[in-house]
Amino acid sequence: MKETASLAAGLIVLAMAWSGPLAVVSQPGFSFQMLTHMLVIAVASPLLAVYLRPVLQARASPIVIATIAFVSSLADFIVIWAWHVPVLHDYARYNSLVLLVEQASFLFIGVVVWTFALATYQTARRTAGLVGAGVLFFTSMHMTLLGALLALASRPLYGSCLDGAKALNMSVQEDQQLGGVVMLVMGGLIYLGVGLALAGASIGANDDLSLRKKEGS
């Protein structure tokens, strides 16, 4: 029941995020684009991952899950940063096919990272959950860094956002700063918060297991 509700919520968030960006090529502004990205990778993806996690845990070993979680976090770093290189970001705004590839890659890597990170918890290897927590910590760090760089940049980086900024009654610089803050807050804090919860739960599970072993000896 919980998994089904999570799937439905994830699909609703995706529908909300994509009702604009995939309907037209030109988006209202950089801050809106960043909100769309964060809804896909930091809200919809973990909701979908909750639905997929039991299937993954039933079919893969804890070592495989932890290994792929680590590798996928590196792939996530490459995907997120690459699409925010000004040339690629602007190209996606002007070409609907590239925009579709961008959004699909965000969703795919987001779901993979979240599914494998969450699946590390409650496996046969209790310490695997710490690997999943580390994956989320790493993702939080690089999203926080990218958001800070965007917010603190001394000049506008994206030529495609000029009209959108005007539509929002903001300067291009202000629009970019707001977008950086959105990534920093949503991306950084969501991944960090879930990572801390996962680490705490894994440590608590390890402590309970050790206590039961002592009591049984």
User: What are φ and ψ of residue 154, in 5° steps?
Assistant: -80, -10
Instruction: Look at residue 83 in the predicted model and tell me its pLDDT.
Output: 96
Per-residue pLDDT of the chain (217 residues; tens, 9 = 90+): 788 999 999 999 999 888 865 554 445 688 888 999 999 999 999 999 999 999 998 898 888 998 999 999 999 999 999 999 999 999 988 888 999 999 999 999 999 999 999 998 876 566 777 888 999 999 999 999 999 999 999 999 988 877 777 777 888 899 999 999 999 999 999 999 999 998 888 887 654 444 344 445 4
Cβ–Cβ < 8 Å for 178, 33:
no
Q: Considering the entire predicted model, what is its pTM?
A: 0.88
Distance of CA 68 to the CA centre of its chain: 16
Q: How far apart are CA 148 and CA 177, in angstroms?
A: 9
* Residue closest to 161 by CA, chosen among 26, 29, 8: 29
**Is residue 127 classed as helix, strand or coil in its secondary structure?**
coil
User: What single-letter amino acid sits at 185?
Assistant: V
Per-residue pLDDT at 205: 62
State the Cα torsion 97-103-106-110 to the nearest 10°.
-130
DSSP track, 157-183: --GGGHHHHHHTTS-HHHHHHHHHHHI
Q: Are 157 and 150 within 8 A, CB to CB?
A: yes
Q: For 154, which DSSP code?
A: S
Integer Cα distance of 118 and 199 in angstroms: 11
The predicted pLDDT at position 163 comes to: 73
Closest listed residue to residue 120, CA positions, set 134, 107, 138: 134
DSSP classification of residue 187: I
Per-residue confidence (pLDDT) for residue 94, from 0 to 100: 87
What is the amino acid identity at position 76? D
Q: In this structure, how many other beta carbons lie within 10 angstroms of the beta carbon of residue 75?
A: 15
Predicted local distance difference test score (pLDDT) of residue 210: 46
CB 112 within 8 A of CB 181: no
Give CA–CA dist 130/108, Å, rounded. 23
Q: Which residues contact 122 (CB under 8 A, 6 or more apart)?
A: 57, 129, 205
